[in-house]
Structure 1
Amino acid sequence: MFFDLNVPYSPDDPEVPHTLNFLAELGYTTVALSQTINGKIPPTLAPPSLPTNAPKSLQLLTRLTLTLADPAQNNRLAALSQAYDIVALRPTNEKLLLNACTNLECDVISVDLSVRLPYHFKFKMLSAAISRGVRIEICYGPGITGSGLDARRNLIGNATSLIRATRGRGIIVSSEARRALGLRAPWDLINLACVWGLSQERGKEAICEEARKVTALAKLKRTSWRGIVDVIHGGQKAKPEESAKKTKSVQKSVVENPQEPEQAENGVDNLKRKASTSSEPVVEDPDKPLSKRD
């Protein structure tokens, strides 16, 4: 199972069907359609409708990528986690990156590696995010379809330093490709990750196991209490219609089989037991003489 958790999506984009069909041909099984928001979060925000003409072999997820430029933008992350399958944060400076790694509730931290970053990645900062279950994302699309050689050079340098800082753990690789031309096959990505500094096993985990953990942990956050307790059955009472049908079925069985003892709805026999011989009154013999006690 291969995952691509960052495919930019707009309902009116005519290139979306071609991109999804090409992803299915390359062997991907799960794709997250991403909606990017810059600046202030709108008061009413809901995921867009998924395409109806997508290949049946693809499992489509909804994703929100929020570009953090102000610390005050994190006041509605809990509500967004309930509306979207995956919530990703894209910090624009080192201070916001530290806040996202240590405090903010999200599923993925995605840094734009196609630009020159004015700071260095630190192991202590990134390991805090990985220990909380948050994965660090590398998007190769802007480095391939970007303008000039600067984007490709920045992608290689930043990805190498990111892998060195995380020591190869907690990394996922996504496309962020707006056209089918910017997509690459899964095994090509594994070879590309080896060029960045990952081993072949870790490169495969970046598009398989680590990406699967992102979707699984995000689902646990939505359907359970703090990702620990999952409510399966809330102990609801039986509906009146079901209890009435059960009573009618019991009455019908009694009418059809009158010789059988009546049973209650809970299956307990309501027939009275016969009195035992020991409980019957003792008949006195008239010829027997009375004792002194009598």
Structure 2
Amino acid sequence: MFYDLNVPISTNSSSLSKKGKGKQPQTSNAPQFTAAQLSAIDAHLDLLIHLGYTVICFNQTVQKKVDPKIHVNVLNELLEQLKPRQGIVFLKRLSVILDEDSEKGFGLVSVKAPTLALACLTHTLPSPLTTHIISIPLTLPRFPFHLKHTLIRTAIKNGAVFEINYVGALGRESDAVLIEAGAAEANGGNAKRNWWAAARELVRVTKGKGLIVSGGVVAQADMRAPRDVANLISLLGLPQDGAHAACTSMPKSLILRAQTRKTYRAVFSEPELVIPEGYSAPQPQLPLPKDTTQSVTQSSASSIGGQKKRPREENDAGDSTEVQSVAGAETGRIEQGIDKKKRKKNKT
């Protein structure tokens, strides 16, 4: 199974206004996908499936504050309108750009700590805003932060992975995350050269561990088959098996880990009681009335072996004679012992 965990989905919802007074524009209903957009998405999916991808994740990017009253998860609506495809798994993903705008909207950025340190140390821990994928803009002219070994390794130990979008290596239109973030030189030869340098640095720091490869492709002409992507990533310094794992086993483990973090102590879902067909529960036995229990005990007592029970007086009498005989024997022994002691004294 091959995975593509970054299929950008753009919406028709109006973006939020910038800083300033006044209310922000509100959308009454969920953004509707037009027929042309749905046909384009279907064609995009058909090509991905033809290339060999079986698990496809739709990515919705959010940059600023999200108001629960007006924000709608457009991916739910999209999945309902897409035609079913047998054997293909569709997933949903929410990408949040970590910057000053997201600081006010989500409380993710702190002035006292660098952005990368927060993403690797704080947001990878289990919480309502747990980060599973850290996607670094690789087409920028230079990193706005320094990649430290301690931060990268801590994020990987906490269960996060680092994403490499192969679209930047083609020098084509980049993914929607960089476009909405307003990154400079997102397209062209400069972006291609920047991507190769930054991706090599990321592979060096991570030592090839905790890496996944996604598409982030908007145009169909930029799509590549999974094995072609693995060959491309191997040029960054990854071994062939590591490049193959970045498209198969690593995304799979990431999805399983993300599912277990939603429940208590790695339980995939809430337990359900499954009753097999034809099973009938045993009925509880009701207690019998008192009159019937007495009659049953009397009849059973009288019919055991046909033997008669001795009277209580005879038992008592027999027991008393036995006790008397035992007592007499004991007193006789005591008297004999006393006589022997007297004889010894007389001899002396």
For the criterion TM > 0.5, the same-fold answer is yes
Cα distance in 2, alignment partners of residues 267 and 232 from structure 1: 33
Secondary structure of the residue that 1:68 maps to in structure 2?
coil
Q: How does 1:15-26 map to 2 (within 5 A)?
A: 15-26=40-51
Q: How does 1:13-92 map to 2 (within 5 A)?
A: 13=37, 14-43=39-68, 44-48=71-75, 49=77, 50=79, 51-53=81-83, 55-70=85-100, 71-75=103-107
Q: How does 1:129-168 map to 2 (within 5 A)?
A: 129-144=155-170, 145-146=172-173, 147-168=187-208
TM-score (norm 2): 0.62
* Letter of the structure 1 residue corresponding to residue 241 of structure 2: E
CA pair 275-59 structure 1, distance change in 2 beyond 3 A: same
TM-score (norm 1): 0.73
Secondary structure of the residue that 2:86 maps to in structure 1?
coil
Cα distance in 2, alignment partners of residues 291 and 101 from structure 1: 89
CA pair 269-99 structure 1, distance change in 2 beyond 3 A: same
CA contact (8 A) 2:116 2:145 kept: no
1:124 paired to 2:124:
no
CA contact (8 A) 2:65 2:104 kept: no
Cα distance in 2, alignment partners of residues 284 and 167 from structure 1: 93
CA contact (8 A) 1:24 1:55 kept: no
The gaps in structure 2 that reach 5 residues or longer are 11-32, 124-129, 174-186, 318-348
Secondary structure of the residue that 1:29 maps to in structure 2?
strand
1:100 paired to 2:119:
yes
Pairwise CA distance, 1:179: 2.3
For the aligned residue pairs, the C-alpha RMSD in angstroms reads 3.6
Counterpart residue number, 1:219 = 259
Secondary structure of the residue that 1:196 maps to in structure 2?
coil
Bigger Rg over Cα: 2
CA pair 281-217 structure 1, distance change in 2 beyond 3 A: same
* Letter of the structure 2 residue corresponding to residue 29 of structure 1: T
Pairwise CA distance, 1:180: 1.7
Cα distance in 1, alignment partners of residues 157 and 316 from structure 2: 93
* Letter of the structure 2 residue corresponding to residue 102 of structure 1: L
Which is further off, 10-19 or 155-164?
A: 10-19
Larger strand share, 1 or 2: 1
* Letter of the structure 1 residue corresponding to residue 210 of structure 2: G
Cα distance in 2, alignment partners of residues 23 and 231 from structure 1: 30
1:110 paired to 2:132:
no
Show CA shifts across 1:234-287 (max 9, x none): 789x9xxxxxxx79xxxxxxxxxxxxxxxx6148998987725349894889xx
Pairwise CA distance, 1:119: 3.0
Cα distance in 1, alignment partners of residues 268 and 55 from structure 2: 24
Show CA shifts across 1:172-225 (max 9, x none): 000011122121111111111111111111101101011001111111122x11
Aligned length: 249
CA pair 184-266 structure 1, distance change in 2 beyond 3 A: farther
Secondary structure of the residue that 1:207 maps to in structure 2?
coil
* Letter of the structure 2 residue corresponding to residue 180 of structure 1: Q
CA pair 9-281 structure 1, distance change in 2 beyond 3 A: same
1:184 paired to 2:224:
yes
Percentage of matched positions with identical amino acids: 26
CA pair 231-200 structure 1, distance change in 2 beyond 3 A: closer
* Letter of the structure 2 residue corresponding to residue 42 of structure 1: D
